[in-house]
Amino acid sequence: MQAAPAEGELCEIDLGIGGMTCASCVGRVERALRKQPGVVEATVNLATETARITASPGDAALAARLKRAIRDAGYEPRAMDSDVNPDADRLLGVPRDAWPVLLAALLSAPLALPMVGDLFGRHWMLPAWAQFVLATPVQFVLGAHFYRAAWHALKARTGNMELLVSIGTTAGWALSTWLWWRAEAGEMVHLYYEGSAVVITLVMLGKWLEARAKRQTTEAIRALQALRPEKARLLPDGVKRTETIEVAVEELLPGDVIQILAGERFAADGEVVEGQTQADESMLTGEAMPVNKAPGDAVTGGSLNGEGVVTVRVRASGAQSVLAHIIALVQDAQAGKAPVQRLVDRVAAVFVPVVLVIALITWIGWTVVGAAPADALLHAVAVLVIACPCALGLATPAAIMAGTGVAARHGILIRDAQALEIAHRIDTVAFDKTGTLTEGHPRLLSWQVAPGLDEAAVLSSAASLQADSAHPLARAVVQAAQARGLTWSSAREVQSVTGRGVRGEVQGETLLLGSLKWMESLELTLGALQAAADAALAQGASVSVLARDKGPVLAVLAFGDEPKAGASEAIAGLRAQGLRLALVSGDNRPAAEAMAQRLGLRAEAGEVIAEVLPGDKAAVIRQLQQGGHVVAMVGDGVNDAPALAAADVGLAMGHTDGASADVAMHAAGITLMRGEPLLVAAALDISRRTVGKIRQNLFWAFFYNVAGIPLAALGFLNPVVAGAAMALSSVSVMSNALLLKRWRP
């Protein structure tokens, strides 16, 4: 998949890669890709088996050269959409990819049986020729892929898991064959075929279990992709015609009208034109309760229609839909590489050569102290086998995949691994007020006009100025005028003054409608309306002023908002976690402090930062950071985009309407698909838990090697036990990561 860049921008290419097994493979593929002309950066993810390449645009052959580089490095380039479930492909009732493991186990079992018999005083040793016949196909047929990958690693002058396994097991097989051939006729010699065969079987079993665990970590992506309908019922003549034609969803265009039957998934983002129903949006937003939909309401492609039949006017489909944005966001997070993983990659780059040196030292050391050549070689083999860096490569990406996947199921979209890793260190949470902690739908509570003026006429003039504005306060003015049955003329030359108000011409005179701060800057005084403004401010209302250009003031308008459900509980919960809180608002201080008191914020403790213009919120965030704090900013993702970007981690409360959802997903590191303040604590919690799993996985991955290599070198582990421990390390890391799937907000 290749992104289409704008002129002069870099492009991104995503490729699937088959055959990688350990952290060393990741480093080898990345080096091969970075050597290609035009490539700026290449990041390879072992858990997802994908590569993301950032390159200069304009090279039509780049994708082909990248695939060739992957193949030359010894791996298989794959299409990103080639993910199929191997469990569905069965042979004699067994998944086809399990057959090599099963055959290896059947051939190795008779070789391992004597070890079990020894525990009970039984001697079930097979003849040497039988051991050779059983072990050889495991070594060179079922284990052939180890040799192929090892050969490619040697050609690239590097190492990988397969190189360690192939050297170790071949040494055991060759030693056994040599001892058998040099033995006298009828002589019983102890052979080590079982060690080589069982190690290969255990490694294959571990990789098979690991692959199954990987598929579980990508369930979130597959579940989201399954929401995409393939067909849509198009009304060619819009709502005028009841007959429909079936078309592919990819053919839908903005403005098309489609019909959605009961129980079907909405084929595209759009707006209900006719009919009423309920929509289950749980897979997109995590909201468990169905949402009522009536004409004029927005619907999101992929959500499930209830019992009603509705017609919908398409707003966006395909790659432009909210569902496509969500899928892309989760894929980006899972394909990315956390900062800690880069350190692991540097360790892995030198790990295999160091292990080879340790194994050589082990063999020489045991030989020097007088051990039998066979025993010295087996100790060296045990070092090679237990030291495979499989778990190191999986520790971080497996946890990130599981964490971002389960978060997405509950309406928390984590944009990248860096945001995930930083979020657990947050000590300060700054909130926007309107639309974040409050409903964002203010009402016009009262308006006081200057003496001698008609209230209805003044309100009509205010509605004229605000009629075409989408600002919440503007809508409140228009709704109040409509409620009184007033009519108003269209304003001319309307200009919005960012963060202050609006200016326009109504019935031949220029009017201003905006904040008290704006009026003060224009040196306009309220006069007789000052008392009304003070009374409204004392009650926590937001106050706007209507005035003629250069005066006088015509009216004072008081607006009120309500806290969101759960906002107070969210504030209390974050405070209980020891986090510092701040409310960043453009309202005047009395209004901001009155709402803060209702929310449980403490103005006396400096938790209210009022009268902040939208463009200055980012500066407030930087001031908090300069005080040594790691800051999260929570906003609506549209007006607060600069502050979201300035914060260490931005948490955007996204919406399922196209433009704002797009802004939310790109301005912040984390997007909350539901406008619920309680999700802020949930997002920080899953971040902490995911980082905790990363640390646990890295501990166990290093523990297996740090503890296992000395034990193997000192002769306390034989190759079979070392192989089992190595296989167990990868499986345990994946299993530990999968525990995140049980997380609930």
Tell me: do 553 and 630 sit in the same domain: no
How far apart (Å, rounded) are the C-alpha atoms in residues 557 and 126? 96
- Which residue range(s) make up the domain with 510? 443-560
Tell me: do 199 and 338 sit in the same domain: yes
Structural domain contains residue 575:
yes
Q: Give, for 164, the enclosing helix (H) or strand (E).
A: helix 161-182
CATH code for position 252: 2.70.150.10
Tell me: do 611 and 596 sit in the same domain: yes
Q: Give the strand pairing for 670-672 and 649-653.
A: parallel
Strand partners, 560: 443
Structural domain contains residue 652:
yes
Record the tokens describing residue 247, joined without a space.
Answer: 């078309």
Q: Are 644 and 633 spatial neighbours (Cβ–Cβ below 8 Å)?
A: yes
Q: Is the pLDDT of residue 406 over 60?
A: yes
Tell me: do 173 and 109 sit in the same domain: yes
Q: How would residue 241 be classed by pLDDT, with cut points 50, 70 and 90? A: low
Task: Using CB atoms within 10 Å of the CB of residue 120, give its burial: 0 to 12 exposed, 13 to 18 middle, 19+ buried.
Answer: exposed
Q: Is the pLDDT of residue 346 over 90?
A: no
Position with higher pLDDT, 479 vs 701: 479
How far apart (Å, rounded) are the C-alpha atoms in residues 286 and 402? 17
HSE, side-chain direction, 13 A CA sphere, residue 506: 24
Q: Are 660 and 679 spatial neighbours (Cβ–Cβ below 8 Å)?
A: no
Q: How would residue 657 be classed by pLDDT, with cut points 50, 70 and 90? A: very low
Strand partners, 581: 429
**Mean confidence (pLDDT) of the chain:** 82
Position with higher pLDDT, 716 vs 392: 716
Q: Is the pLDDT of residue 140 over 80?
A: yes
Q: Is the pLDDT of residue 519 over 60?
A: yes
Q: Please give the C-alpha separations between residue 549 and each of 48, 447, 463, in angstroms, as whole numbers.
A: 62, 19, 17
The total number of structural domains that make up the chain: 5
CATH code for position 625: 3.40.50.1000
**How many C-beta atoms lie closer than 10 Å to residue 564's C-beta?**
20
Q: Is the pLDDT of residue 2 over 60?
A: no
Q: How would residue 429 be classed by pLDDT, with cut points 50, 70 and 90? A: very high
Percentage above 90 pLDDT, the chain: 10
How far apart (Å, rounded) are the C-alpha atoms in residues 743 and 683? 11
Structural domain contains residue 323:
no
- Phi–psi pair at 393, nearest 5 degrees: -70, -20
Predicted TM-score (pTM) of this structure: 0.69
| pLDDT at position 319 | 73
Q: Are 245 and 429 spatial neighbours (Cβ–Cβ below 8 Å)?
A: no
Record the tokens describing residue 685, joined without a space.
Answer: 């919690």
DSSP letter at 500? T
Tell me: do 29 and 43 sit in the same domain: yes
Tell me: do 567 and 556 sit in the same domain: no
Catalytic positions are: 432
Q: Are 704 and 726 spatial neighbours (Cβ–Cβ below 8 Å)?
A: yes
Strand partners, 546: 513, 555
Tell me the average pLDDT across 587-591: 78
Question: What region, left, alpha or beta, does residue 611 occupy, with left being phi > 0 and alpha being psi -120 to 50 degrees?
Answer: left
Tell me: do 213 and 337 sit in the same domain: yes
How far apart (Å, rounded) are the C-alpha atoms in residues 591 and 611? 10
Structural domain contains residue 325:
no
Structural domain contains residue 322:
no
Q: Are 501 and 520 spatial neighbours (Cβ–Cβ below 8 Å)?
A: no
Diameter of the chain measured on Cα atoms? 125
Structural domain contains residue 3:
no
Q: How would residue 141 be classed by pLDDT, with cut points 50, 70 and 90? A: very high
Q: Give the strand pairing for 631-635 and 649-653.
A: parallel
Tell me: do 468 and 599 sit in the same domain: no
Q: How far, in whole angstroms, is CA 658 from its chain's centroid?
A: 20
Determine the residue type at 26: V
Structural domain contains residue 536:
yes
Q: Is the pLDDT of residue 580 over 90?
A: yes
Q: Is the pLDDT of residue 87 over 60?
A: no
Q: How far, in whole angstroms, is CA 147 from its chain's centroid?
A: 36
| pLDDT at position 527 | 85
| pLDDT at position 6 | 47
Closest CA to 229 of 332, 300, 139, 138: 300
Q: Is omega for the bond preceding 590 within 30 degrees of 0, making it cis?
A: no
Structural domain contains residue 347:
yes
Tell me: do 434 and 447 sit in the same domain: no
Closest CA to 378 of 209, 241, 195, 527: 195
Tell me the average pLDDT across 50-76: 86
Q: What is the pLDDT of residues 683-728, one digit of tens each?
A: 999 999 998 998 898 888 888 777 888 988 888 887 777 777 777 7
How far apart (Å, rounded) are the C-alpha atoms in residues 407 and 277? 28
Tell me: do 118 and 210 sit in the same domain: yes
Q: Is 86 helix (H, G, I), strand (E, B) or coil?
A: helix
CB neighbour burial string for 15-26, b if at least 16 within 10 angstroms, e if fewer = bbbebbbbbbbb
Q: Please give the C-alpha separations between residue 412 and each of 185, 434, 672, 741, in angstroms, as whole numbers.
A: 71, 21, 5, 14
Closest CA to 105 of 10, 223, 178, 194: 194
Strand partners, 280: 304
Tell me: do 461 and 582 sit in the same domain: no
Tell me: do 542 and 578 sit in the same domain: no
